[in-house]
Chains A and B, each alone.
Chain A
Amino acid sequence: AEVEETLKRIQAHKGVIATMVINAEGIPIRTTLDNSTTVQYAGLLHQLTTKARSTVRDIDPQNDLTFLRIRSKKHEIMVAPDKEYLLIVIQNPCE
């Protein structure tokens, strides 16, 4: 499907280290990393996304979280929350 193509392109893009799809309960559905790391990322990012979303909505209930980006020294973690899923991409923006 088209979404598969998009995910493949993202994975093949310059600097992308890993791609993961997590469902609403924090269970990884699709990943390009090994299981233990994925489960770790999934759990931690799920909690963070929930906290971020509740922060945004507490300030203004009509607002909602669209995207979350965490830039660290080594790389950048991007989280795109959806109604039921969480798409996580770890990229190394070439610097």
Chain B
Amino acid sequence: SVSQWEIYDAYMEELQKMEKSKEKEKPKAQIAKKEEKKKGRKLTSLESQSDDITKISKAAKIMERMVNQNTFDDIAQDFKYFEDASDEYRDQRGTLLPLWKFQYDKTKRLAVTAISWNPKYKDLFAVGYGSYDFMKQSHGMLLLYTMKNPSFPEYVFSSESGIMCLDIHNDHPYLVAVGFYDGNVAIYNLKKATSQPSYKSSAKSGKHTDPVWQVKWQKDDMDNNLNFFSVSSDGRIVSWTLVKNELVHTDVIKLSAEGTTMQGPEGLQLQTLGCGTSFDFHKKIDYLFLVGTEEGKIYKCSKCYSSQFLDVFEAHHMAVDSVSWNPYHLKVFISCSSDWTVKIWDHTVKTPMFIYDLNSAVGDVAWSPYSSTVFAAVTTDGKAHVFDLSINKYEALCTQIVVAKKKNKITHIQFNPVYPVVIIGDERGHVTCLKLSPNLRKMPKEKKGQEVKKGPEVEIAKLDKLLNLVREPDGK
């Protein structure tokens, strides 16, 4: 008796043959037909093709993930289903539940310098490894892990110089832009099998003279070329465009620090440049971006004006480690610094709206993607702090030590865009994934009889209400 799928298979074969015969008769088409016939007959022995073990790669990959799922079964269940019920008794505070820990032997000596989630595959994330220590510079690595396989990275790339920052393109999630400690930038293509970057800058093509602290992809320019920006301690913000397989650079702006022109030899005015350490582009207003510097200032700049800043904020007393626009509210941004503080600003006001002192240098701060009032910060004493401004404006909802050894500093934190997890990278090359407890993820409560409005407007309104309490009323 013939089963239904055998009939289906026969029909599919016929359909494919008809489609092929509709194409123009080329010798290639005929060879393709012959190969198909070979595969179609499952009974013929395939000894003619060698018992190639590489054919099994897809099955091996799935199998590895399944084996891992079995070993880490309780963690996978926790990730998906566990909601800490004791949060009800904890009076607004929340906790971070440690899930997986990702580590790889070749990165044991390196610090995690950058993490980023892939915009298309929500369980895939990229980690850059390098060293923050000036004296101990060695090679760097770029690894991509998936939450489905905690024991081995999906992609491994190594480089001569430590990687300091990375960014994955939104539309082409296989392109990763990377900035190095030696000032170079490169683009890695995940689709290609090589472990070398596809495009790399060099001393001739205008690389930075100091470590590149941050890179960010931009929208394709008018000629549909890919481009990204990079900021470095040498005071330049450079736009790199991929034109005909080569990286071409354009200086966008030079961070001249005001009032620091010096008299050089022969009466030259030497402009000392500020050292850029981080930047962030506005989500909606395309040309607007912020740059944080080592001197503690934050400059508001526009891509259109290359010699002047739109505004300067005297933000911190020490280097600004990270700046980030709020994903919902168009005017708010957050900054953190080694001077132990995290500050929230409205870009039209010169003084910060909120200031938090965290008792230790703050390595990184990130807004959460699900709420305009939740953000997390990590400090060098190994703690992660999660704040929700709509619940408690003065204190963190959660302060938790997340790294095992006391001497281990946390370097970066990122929220997953979809799942309620964060990943934290530390100085020993480990990446830990933690789940946010329900108290940290509170959504506005529905009032009886009222429709629950969802969407970014609600988030913006929430934050606006808070800011109005802090802002000086216009009348006075």
Contacts and interface: CB of A to CB of B under 8 A. Distances in A.
Chief secondary structure at chain A's binding surface? mixed
Nearest to A80: B59
B56 to A, nearest CB: 5
Interface in A1-25: 1-4, 6-7, 9-10, 13-16, 21, 23-25
For chain B, the bracket of interface size reads 20 to 34
B59 A82 contact: yes
B3 A84 contact: no
Given A67-B66, A78-B63, A15 B55 contact: no
Given A30-B53, A54-B5, A84-B55, 19 more contacts: A1-B54, A3-B56, A6-B60, A7-B53, A10-B60, A13-B68, A24-B46, A29-B53, A58-B3, A58-B4, A58-B5, A61-B5, A61-B7, A61-B8, A67-B62, A67-B66, A78-B63, A83-B55, A85-B55
A35 interface: no
Interface in B1-42: 3-5, 7-9, 39, 42
A9 B64 contact: yes
Contacts of A76: 70
B407 interface: no
Interface string B128-159: 00000000000000000000000110000000
A93 B4 contact: no
A79 to B, nearest CB: 9
A82 B39 CA distance: 13
Q: Could you tell me the dominant secondary structure of chain B's interface residues?
A: helix
A93 B73 contact: yes
Contact of A87 (B3, B9, B51, B60): B60
Interface string A56-83: 0110011000110100000010101111
Interface in B44-59: 45-46, 51, 53-59
Given A3-B56, A6-B60, A94-B71, A13 B151 contact: yes
10 contacts: A4-B53, A9-B151, A10-B67, A24-B46, A29-B51, A54-B5, A80-B63, A81-B59, A82-B59, A91-B70
Given A58-B4, A61-B4, A61-B5, A25 B63 contact: no
A89 interface: yes
Interface of A: 1-4, 6-7, 9-10, 13-16, 21, 23-25, 29-30, 54, 57-58, 61-62, 66-67, 69, 76, 78, 80-87, 89, 91, 93-94
B61 interface: yes
Contacts of A93: 70-71, 73
A57 B4 contact: yes
Contacts of B5: 54, 57-58, 61
Contacts of B45: 25
Contacts of B53: 1, 3-4, 7, 21, 29-30
